[in-house]
Amino acid sequence: MAGRGEITEVDTLSHPRVFALAKNDKWTVANEPLHYDKENRGVGPGLTFGKTMADMNPDVKIGLIPAAVGGTKISYWEPGNERGLYEEALRKAKIAMESGRLKGIIWQQGESDSNEKDAPLYKERLIRLMKSFRKDLGKEEVPIVFGGLGDFLKSKKFHIVNNALKDAADELPNVAFSEASKLGHIGDRLHFNAEAQHENGVNMAKAMRTLIE
């Protein structure tokens, strides 16, 4: 979700109605890199998602809440985990909700779980996590979009995780699965390239709009 795609000129173009909650918890005009998790941060699907949602809804402002951390397993996001990722995501979301309405969650993760041990547990963990987010945010029916994994991943177990994302979307109410772009990776068979992330963002926005409507 955080993204490692190469930032080019098109990614430097801001949208007058798309904002992001910055590292200092203040709203700012959204630009790439949207996240601030690691030094090699780059293009993810989030900003394109926001721009597409804004273009679909010309009378609203879009506020993005970057909370992703690259290279993490879904178990790291469980409430109470020592890394505190869940609690930090909740904290940022609640700050954002002081000046707007929480309209949706987008989730694109699972590469680190594409192994023999973790892949079979992914669906159960994902469903439990999304239920926790909804409960703790006081938004039991908030729309959620799951982004699929790239078909270029080295581990053959990624199919298990991808199917888990699809099945969880079918089992949870008001959740949709968005197919992953096939436009490729940055050369490591792990991270989507910028073009693919742009397509992922557009596809996620289309899925989100369908849920909202």
15 token code pair: 């949208």
Could you tell me which residues are beta bridge partners of residue 29?
19
pLDDT score for 36: 81
Angle at alpha carbon of residue 190, lines to 54 and 168, rounded to 5°: 60
pLDDT tens track of the chain, all 213 residues?
788 888 888 888 999 999 999 999 999 999 998 888 777 778 999 999 999 999 999 999 999 999 999 889 999 999 999 999 999 999 999 999 999 999 999 999 999 999 999 999 999 999 999 999 999 999 999 999 999 999 999 988 999 999 999 999 999 999 999 999 999 999 989 999 999 999 999 999 999 999 998
pLDDT score for 40: 72
Phi, then psi, of 207 in degrees rounded to 5: -65, -40
Contact in structure between 99 and 27 (CB atoms under 8 Å):
yes
Contact in structure between 49 and 103 (CB atoms under 8 Å):
no
Phi, then psi, of 147 in degrees rounded to 5: -90, 140
CA 71 to chain centre: 13
pLDDT score for 182: 97
pLDDT score for 83: 96
pLDDT score for 1: 76
pLDDT score for 99: 94
- Annotate 27-46 with b (16+ C-beta within 10 A) or e (fewer): beebebbbbebeeebbbbbb
75 token code pair: 């178990």
Contact in structure between 103 and 212 (CB atoms under 8 Å):
yes
Termini Cα distance of the chain: 24
Is residue 73 within a helix (H) or strand (E), and if so which, with residue range?
A: none
Cα Rg of the chain, angstroms: 16
Is residue 65 within a helix (H) or strand (E), and if so which, with residue range?
A: none
173 token code pair: 């109410």
Domains of the chain from N-terminus onward: 48-55+71-212 (3.40.50.1110)
User: Checking DSSP bridges between strand 144-147 and strand 175-178, what pairing results, if any?
Assistant: parallel
